[in-house]
Chains A and B, each alone.
Chain A
Amino acid sequence: MKYAFILKAVLHSISHRKFSVFTSIFAISAAFAFLAATGCISFGLASTAVNSSLAFPLIVGPAGASDTTLVMSTLFNTDKPAGTLDYEFAEKLEKDERVSAVFPIARSDSYMGIPITGVESAYINEISRGFSEIGEDIEAHDIFSENGRKCAVIGAKTAARYEMKVGGTFFGSHGSVGDEDSELHDFEYIVCAVMKAVNGPEDFAIFTNLKSVWEIHRHGHHHHHEEAEEDEEDGDHHEAAEMHCVHDMCVDIGNKHHAERKITAVLVKTKNPVFTAALEREYSENGFTSATDTGRTVRKLLTYMNKAEKAAGFFSYGTLFLVMIMVFVTILTSISERKREMALMRTLGIGKLPVSLMIFLELLFISVFGTAVGTLGGHALLAFCKPAIDFELGINLEPFFFTGIEIRGAAYTLLTGVTLSLAAMVKIYRMNLVEEIAKD
């Protein structure tokens, strides 16, 4: 009866101070969202990395590219490619009997900041899990066959975000292969398929025919030189033997098409890990290319990420701790404002213990509720922000993944909360409240 009334009093007191209680709990939630984000983002990155490293054990890129650049610029679409290499290397790799498949790619154009990657049909077959939408005249298993030359295949998330539909067109803001070249004209793409979500970076990508990437350069320079708009759809006739410059390298397009066949990397499937190691060595030492064992590099990246996650975790703990301090300072200030109220309770014969117990329970409620609502609310907040975060980071964030860091964070918060609540209770128990009220 007596304790039931104390509980009731606590609830009254909390609802009486809704605003400050809500603010406190919100602040704790926000700090937890931080902590949750750290865990979920790195989890998303890690699962993506692991999946990709299984698919393409070897990546070959231009000479001088570091292991991480090779991985980041191909599998994650984040880094810029370090340069270009000739398509011949892809052809050479394909003929190598240690290799089971090659997927040459060329990063070139971009649309709304999303890189447009030139690939061959085989690559799409490799990564896609089918199409949610595909043009009637498009061959699903050879998507970049002749009639789909300017065809763009859109990742699920990109399509949803920019409401891209089959048959629609868009202009890439053009940069040349591996490099910016703003003087070139925009190139029009036609959406010919939208991929189903694969829960990887591919969901955020735009793919096009590798050949049309090469095409852009002819077109672009053609326009540039002629300052004309006459040949928007004449990609097939490039008989005119004009001089043409890509990467400070001037070639004669009419006669030397091959000199233009530049790519930024080759993703390679090898027949076994021993071949991967051998190929990595060969293609790192030939002076023209660099190569990396995807699995090893991803593992290295994951180690870094783990460290980064830990660092971010500590940062979040710091934030959480500051938030807790702020919350308690606010509450303790309100306690000194509440001295009169507590003193009145005391003069009414409500004992020291019930009065300090009330304050303890109130703070405990805020700590426990703040932590509970904080962890769940943090993840809910993350789920709410998922589309934006996904897009900004190009990863599939898993909003309801709970990490050890977060669980420890919750434990620390509770511990801090209970300790501070107890401290406040002792302080109030010791305070001569009656003298306080008698002062005025």
Chain B
Amino acid sequence: MAPFERISVKNLTKSFENADGGKKTIFNNVTFELNPGAVLRLSGASGSGKTTFMNVMSGLIKPDSGSVFFGDTDITSLSEGGKDRFRAENIGYIFQTFNLLAPFSVIENVYAPLAFAGKLPKNYKDKALESLNKVGMKEFAAKKPYHLSVGQKQRVAAARVLFADPPLVFADEPTASLDRNSSELVKNTLLELNRKGTTLVLSSHDPIFDDVKPDIDFDLETGVLS
């Protein structure tokens, strides 16, 4: 894992247009700083804007105004190609659903992002298997995602993050609708990464994460930072 610089979120605002043409503000003028290895917890009811905040923060969608600095780099001002490269090098994702590429096998899903970036380590297959082993998915390495349960897919997504070992991980309700065992495995993966210094942005109202003390809690429902 590359050492990661401090993240500065400055005056970030995002709103969507309503069906009736009116504006719906999701978050307004948000400013905070996140140290390397810290945990940012996004909370709030469904529809309050947790996913939107993650998308803006990781450069997937543009904010109305404001910026997100990773060290000296403002991701909101990067070109699309620049954002792609930045994501490939620095960010790991676990989405709530639809995490895996259907045409690829489980193990290929684990190393695909680095393979596309041309950054595979020498013994990538062993490393990928090791990551899969940690989430109990080693024996599924050659299977296609089609054959996996929701929980198994989510564990593969966790293994992908483990394999890439990025300095920053976004996990959007990673344990929603998972069985207890899968939830534990995903949670442990995230905590292991965080212990080793990965900055973690976590959105979840799963009580399984209640023992994880966030450095910052951002409640999208109330807009309160703590």
Contact = CB atoms under 8 A, between A and B. Distances in A.
Interface in A1-27: 1-2, 5-6, 9, 12-13, 15-17
Contacts of A349: 84-89, 91, 113, 116-117
Nearest to A340: B98
Interface string A119-145: 000000000000000000000000000
Contact of A348 (B51, B86, B88, B108): B88
A159 B112 CA distance: 63
Interface string B45-84: 0000001100100001100000000000000000011001
Contact of B116 (A2, A347, A437): A2
A348 B94 CA distance: 10
Contacts of B81: 351-353
B115 interface: yes
Question: How would you classify the secondary structure of chain A's contact residues: helix, strand, loop or mixed?
Answer: helix
Interface string A248-277: 000000000000000000000000000000
A434 B60 contact: yes
B115 A5 contact: yes
A230 to B, nearest CB: 80
A72 to B, nearest CB: 57
Contacts of B144: 16
Contacts of A352: 80-81, 84
B113 A348 contact: yes
Nearest to A17: B103
A341 B113 contact: no
Contacts of A434: 55, 60-61
Nearest to B52: A438
A346 interface: yes
A354 interface: yes
A198 interface: no
A13 B108 CA distance: 13
Interface in B93-131: 93, 95, 98-99, 101-104, 108, 112-113, 115-118, 120
A426 interface: no
A340 B99 CA distance: 10
Interface in B128-172: 144
B100 to A, nearest CB: 8
Best-buried of A2, A348, A352 by chain B (most CB within 10 Å): A348
A341 B113 CA distance: 13
Which of A6, A13, A17, A351 counts the most chain B CB atoms within 10 A?
A351
A12 B103 contact: yes
Given A341-B102, A349-B85, A352-B81, A2 B117 contact: yes
B166 to A, nearest CB: 9
Nearest to A342: B101
A350 B120 contact: no
Contacts of B118: 1-2, 5
Most central of A2, A13, A15, A17 by chain B CB within 10 Å: A2
Contacts of B117: 2, 349-350
Contacts of B95: 344, 347
Contacts of A350: 84, 88, 112-113, 116-117
Contacts of B88: 348-351
A63 to B, nearest CB: 74
Nearest to A432: B80
Nearest to A350: B116
A346 B120 CA distance: 18
A240 to B, nearest CB: 87
B116 A354 contact: yes
Interface string A148-167: 00000000000000000000
A17 B87 CA distance: 28
Nearest to A10: B103
Most chain-A CB neighbours within 10 Å: which of B89, B108, B112?
Answer: B112
B54 to A, nearest CB: 9
Q: Which of B60, B116, B120 has the most CB of A within 10 A?
A: B116
A37 to B, nearest CB: 36
Nearest to B115: A5
Contacts of B99: 344
B85 A351 contact: yes
Contacts of A351: 81, 84-85, 88, 116
B103 A6 contact: no
Contacts of B84: 346, 349-352
Interface string A323-348: 00000000000000000110011111
Given A16-B103, A348-B88, 16 more contacts: A1-B120, A2-B115, A5-B116, A12-B108, A16-B144, A340-B98, A344-B95, A345-B101, A346-B84, A347-B60, A347-B95, A351-B81, A352-B81, A352-B84, A438-B51, A438-B55
20 contacts: A2-B116, A5-B115, A5-B118, A9-B104, A9-B116, A344-B95, A344-B98, A344-B101, A348-B112, A348-B116, A349-B84, A349-B88, A350-B88, A350-B117, A351-B84, A352-B80, A352-B81, A434-B55, A437-B60, A438-B51
